[in-house]
């Protein structure tokens, strides 16, 4: 089965009232829309663009999915559930996942690596600890100093984000969701038992509202003063020696080094070695034009240093293509998945950029459970909107 954007754009909707409205039909919102249909929750999905698109955080051909998370225990069951749901969606649509394994590299003996090993042991996730020399023998395209080491997670791999989004879009529509694309949301009015969404195509009401608006969350929910930062981030694809870096023999990777935090992907179908930097980035307004790759010196400079230091056989490689996206970050890099503090029928999902896409299937399912039942099967305490890291950093 081929999965593609339906190209439906903004349809003329005769209805004005729904069971649930989802604002933002990116990765989380589109997945939520599908799972809401399975629960008979009668969803309308509204987006300012026509997903998949390049104005948010779900484009770029590849996303890492791994399961042994050390940030907090809540992520591991969420990642494992997400993997199950991606595989289920794949069986119903098209290929979405490539099992390349994921290699995490950092200082030998550090909490960065030992925390992942401990999480893997607690949850039974296969992870192999490797020295710098062992990594070099297994993957000759990598060179680490002896002071570094790595953990290899063989069951992890790479998702195709645009295909994932298209698959959820298709399944949501097949199961009865209405989509209102290329439609700006101008205002939200929240009552005691319903919410009214004012758009460029008119007003729509629903008993339940889910806001998954990414970089535009604070614009729609300004009263909450959420400490969300929107950052411009870049990635590049580099010409690669396919004998060293092709996807059937080279893993996706995450690297914590003295100069920063990086991630990357093998060459998939000859696309080239892809790399990006996780930390850093330039603060931007959600509506700011995304300046092209190379506008800032560090766009190319950061990646050149990564290749020169750790992938020397690719250090002189030609840049084949590049991409720019928006990250939306919380201060502690944990997500927000919670109800509005004053309106229990309004749910908010935000702050996913940097490591959120892999969880989109499970977060979408969670949002459908929360909207319909007020509770979810997986622990979400760490994603509270009222946690200290958010309270202490509220926008003044």
Residue 1 lies in a domain: no
Residue 267 lies in a domain: yes
User: At 318, phi and psi to the nearest 5?
Assistant: -80, 135
Same structural domain, 311 and 351: no
Q: Is the pLDDT at 198 greater than 70, yes or no?
A: yes
Decide which of 295, 314, 329 is a domain's last residue.
329
* Half-sphere exposure of residue 256: CA atoms within 13 angstroms, side-chain side: 13
For the residues 107-129, what does the mean pLDDT come to? 97
For the residues 267-282, what does the mean pLDDT come to? 95
Same structural domain, 155 and 260: yes
Same structural domain, 139 and 187: no
Q: Taking the complete model, does pTM exceed 0.85, yes or no?
A: yes
Same structural domain, 233 and 312: yes
Same structural domain, 147 and 249: yes
Q: Is the pLDDT at 358 greater than 80, yes or no?
A: yes
Q: What b/e readout covers 343-364, taking b as 16+ CB neighbours within 10 angstroms?
A: bebbbbbbbbbbbbbbbbbbbb
Cα distance between residue 101 and residue 252, in whole Å: 6
For the residues 296-325, what does the mean pLDDT come to? 94
Cβ atoms of 231 and 281 within 8 Å: the answer is yes
Same structural domain, 248 and 322: yes
81: left (phi over 0), alpha (psi -120 to 50) or beta: alpha
Same structural domain, 154 and 241: yes
For the residues 275-280, what does the mean pLDDT come to? 94
Cα dist from 233 to 118, 163, 185, 229, whole Å: 31, 21, 25, 12
Same structural domain, 265 and 312: yes
Decide which of 280, 300, 329 is a domain's last residue.
329
Question: What CATH number is attached to the domain comprising 135?
Answer: 3.30.9.10
Question: What CATH number is attached to the domain comprising 22?
Answer: 3.50.50.60
Report the pLDDT value the prediction gives residue 81, as an integer from 0 to 100. 98
Q: Is the pLDDT at 2 greater than 80, yes or no?
A: no
Range of the structural domain that residue 115 is part of? 85-159+229-329
Confidence of residue 352 (pLDDT cuts 50, 70, 90): very high
Report the pLDDT value the prediction gives residue 3, as an integer from 0 to 100. 44
The pair of three-digit structure tokens given for residue 50, joined into one six-digit string:
């026509």
Considering its fold, how many domains does the chain have in total? 2
Report the pLDDT value the prediction gives residue 348, as an integer from 0 to 100. 98
For the residues 169-194, what does the mean pLDDT come to? 97
Q: Is the pLDDT at 47 greater than 70, yes or no?
A: yes
For the residues 287-304, what does the mean pLDDT come to? 93
Coil, helix or strand for 36?
Answer: helix
For the residues 193-214, what does the mean pLDDT come to? 97
| Percentage with pLDDT > 70 across the chain | 97
Nearest to 160 by CA among 66, 240, 33, 268: 268
Same structural domain, 197 and 243: no
For the residues 86-112, what does the mean pLDDT come to? 98
Confidence of residue 12 (pLDDT cuts 50, 70, 90): low
Nearest to 50 by CA among 12, 97, 3, 11: 11
Report the pLDDT value the prediction gives residue 56, as an integer from 0 to 100. 87
Residue 39 lies in a domain: yes
The residue written with tokens 């996206």 in the block is 325
Report the pLDDT value the prediction gives residue 5, as an integer from 0 to 100. 47
Cα distance between residue 261 and residue 254, in whole Å: 8
Confidence of residue 284 (pLDDT cuts 50, 70, 90): very high
Report the pLDDT value the prediction gives residue 7, as an integer from 0 to 100. 42
The residue written with tokens 């399912």 in the block is 365
Same structural domain, 244 and 325: yes
| Percentage with pLDDT > 90 across the chain | 92
Same structural domain, 215 and 264: no
Decide which of 276, 311, 329 is a domain's last residue.
329
Residue 195 lies in a domain: yes
Cβ atoms of 282 and 251 within 8 Å: the answer is no
Residues known to be catalytic: 59, 62-63, 274, 278, 325, 358
Nearest to 193 by CA among 66, 351, 17, 363: 17
Confidence of residue 6 (pLDDT cuts 50, 70, 90): very low
Same structural domain, 43 and 153: no
């Amino acid at each position: 089965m081929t999965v593609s954007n339906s190209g439906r754009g903004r349809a003329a909707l005769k209805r004005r009232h729904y069971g649930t409205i989802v604002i933002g039909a990116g990765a989380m919102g589109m997945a939520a829309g599908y799972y809401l249909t399975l629960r008979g929750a009668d969803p309308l999905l509204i987006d300012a663009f026509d997903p998949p698109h390049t104005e948010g955080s779900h484009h770029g051909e590849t996303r890492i999915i791994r399961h042994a998370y050390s940030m907090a225990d809540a992520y591991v069951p969420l990642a494992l559930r997400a993997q199950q749901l991606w595989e289920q969606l794949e069986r119903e649509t098209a290929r979405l996942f490539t099992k390349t394994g994921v290699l995490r590299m950092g200082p030998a003996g550090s909490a960065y690596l030992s925390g992942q090993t401990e999480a893997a042991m607690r949850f039974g996730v296969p992870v192999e600890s490797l020295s710098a020399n062992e990594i070099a023998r297994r993957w000759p395209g990598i060179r680490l100093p002896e002071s570094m080491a790595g953990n290899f997670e063989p069951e992890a791999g790479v998702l195709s984000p645009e295909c994932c989004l298209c698959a959820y879009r298709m399944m949501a529509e097949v199961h009865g969701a209405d989509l209102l694309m290329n439609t700006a949301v101008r205002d939200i009015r929240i009552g005691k038992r319903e919410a009214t969404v004012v758009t460029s195509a008119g007003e729509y009401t629903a008993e339940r509202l889910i806001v998954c608006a990414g970089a535009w969350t604070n614009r729609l929910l300004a009263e909450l003063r959420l400490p969300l930062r929107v950052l411009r981030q870049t990635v590049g694809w580099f010409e690669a020696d396919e004998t060293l870096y092709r996807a059937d023999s080279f893993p996706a990777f995450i690297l914590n080094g003295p100069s920063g935090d990086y991630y990357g992907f093998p060459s998939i179908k000859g696309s080239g070695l892809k790399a990006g930097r996780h930390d850093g980035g330039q603060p931007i307004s959600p509506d700011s034009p995304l300046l092209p790759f190379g506008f800032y010196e560090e766009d190319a400079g950061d990646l050149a240093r990564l290749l020169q230091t750790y992938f020397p056989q690719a250090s002189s490689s030609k840049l084949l293509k590049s991409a720019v996206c928006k990250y939306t970050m919380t201060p502690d890099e944990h997500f927000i998945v919670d109800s509005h503090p004053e309106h229990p029928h309004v749910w908010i999902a935000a702050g996913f950029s940097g490591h959120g896409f892999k969880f989109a299937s499970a977060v979408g399912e969670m949002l459908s459970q929360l909207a319909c039942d007020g509770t979810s099967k997986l622990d979400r305490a760490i994603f509270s909107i009222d946690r200290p890291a958010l309270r202490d950093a509220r926008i003044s």
